[in-house]
Structure 1
Amino acid sequence: MTNNEQGRTLDAGALKALAHPLRVRIYDLLSERGAQTASSLATLIGETSGSTSYHLRALAAHDLIREVPGKGTGRERWWERPKGRINLPGPDESMSPANRSAAQIVTAEFFRLRHQTLMDYLNRPADEQSEEWKDAGLVMTTMLDLTPEQMTELKDQLSAVVDAAVERYSGQEGRSDTRRVSLRAEIFDLPAASSRGLAPKE
């Protein structure tokens, strides 16, 4: 499958292929660190290369990852995640029970890893961060009162900023002065006041 501007929404087959914590971790590492072999992934994860090789083939069967053309040998194949956004369909009542379970596994593991990455960043000792990177990050939470239309407009504006940054800085892999960074944009409505046990506004 090819990625379009809106990204690829994973179908039932891809969701089931990804619905394993180790496969989500492999997929995440390929996004974070770039192309890897079964052996290098085994070292990073603490598994055998036979295990990572098996899971890599399962991911490749659904075009979630691909072999890097012209790199590696028959014994040591390199794998990468294709560029482009993927959309994870949330568990939905219209899904079959098996597909809904797969969606729950994938979503839970993706966000567990995402949270772990953030906590690793927040808990990183200052002496492990070089001076030029110490104040480069930003973790911010802002509360707003918005209508659904306003939130949709803000979501589209944030998406446009991210898409523009992806296009502007693409092709910089391998430069000595760059690092892989995690860019996160989150916007969602909080539960209604009544469901949180709060009194409504006067």
Structure 2
Amino acid sequence: MTNEEGRTLDSGALKALAHPLRVRIFDLLSERGPQTASTLAALVGETSGSMSYHLRALAAHDLIQEVEGRGTARERWWERPKGRIDLPGPDESMTPSNRAAAQIVTSEFFRLRHETLMAYLNRNESEIPEEWRDAGIIMTTYLDLTIEQMAELKAELSGVVDQIIARYKGQTGPGRRRVTLRAELFDLSASLTNTEES
């Protein structure tokens, strides 16, 4: 089960999630909160029967759970458990099947992440309340760091994000919108090597 400190997916959960539609379901439950098979089916253009099958597969590995006290025997509500989920990237120490599953999950997760960013960049400004139009920020910079400096910066950024999560977690009331906070820090050695070889 997940907890507030986070959960790293084991091989069974990773394989259960390793399907583009299941990653999308998981992402939608994170983004929009509890949903039924019918509401999820409408969001992704699938049948309720197909959606129910994928929901059961995710629930079997505690990736999602039924919402207690909500729904009926015919209409079940599903949610993502509280707590952070760590998605292991493909690793040479994994079995080939686990490595393939990790590749599917991480690729689809970041494809969806890019899709939401592009939707934000290409949105029709006239459809957004004026006070929200310039509320976001997208920032990219390049630095030359040692491995020790990168580790220090990683810890510093993680600390800031953890403080923000603690400050606003579970907030309710008017005037709120769901937002996404993204932080990326990685070395460019692979892309620089590819550039030099081309």
For the aligned pair, the TM-score class normalised by the smaller chain equals over 0.9
Q: CA RMSD in A?
A: 1.5
Q: 2: distance between equivalents of 1:194 and 1:26?
A: 35
Q: Which residue of 2 aligns with 1:15?
A: 14
5+ residue gaps, structure 2: none
TM-score under structure 1 length normalisation: 0.93
Does residue 185 (structure 1) correspond to residue 183 (structure 2)? The answer is yes
Number of positions where the alignment pairs a residue of Structure 1 with one of Structure 2: 196
Instruction: Work out the percentage of aligned pairs sharing the same amino acid.
Output: 73
Q: SS of the counterpart of 1:93?
A: coil
Q: Which residue of 2 aligns with 1:3?
A: 3
- C-alpha distance after superposition, 1:55-104 (max 9, x if no partner): 01100000001101001111111000012211111111211111111111
Q: 1: distance between equivalents of 2:82 and 2:126?
A: 33
Does residue 91 (structure 1) correspond to residue 90 (structure 2)? The answer is yes
Q: 2: distance between equivalents of 1:13 and 1:52?
A: 20
Does residue 48 (structure 1) correspond to residue 47 (structure 2)? The answer is yes
Q: 2: distance between equivalents of 1:172 and 1:120?
A: 25
- C-alpha distance after superposition, 1:141-177 (max 9, x if no partner): 011111111111111111111111111111224x221
Greater displacement, 50-59 / 84-93? 84-93
- C-alpha distance after superposition, 1:2-45 (max 9, x if no partner): 3252x211110000000000000000000000000000000001
Q: Which residue of 2 aligns with 1:76?
A: 75
Q: Which residue of 1 aligns with 2:66?
A: 67
TM-score under structure 2 length normalisation: 0.95
TM-superposed deviation, 1:53: 0.7
Q: 2: distance between equivalents of 1:65 and 1:163?
A: 23
Moved segments of 4+, more than 4 Å: none
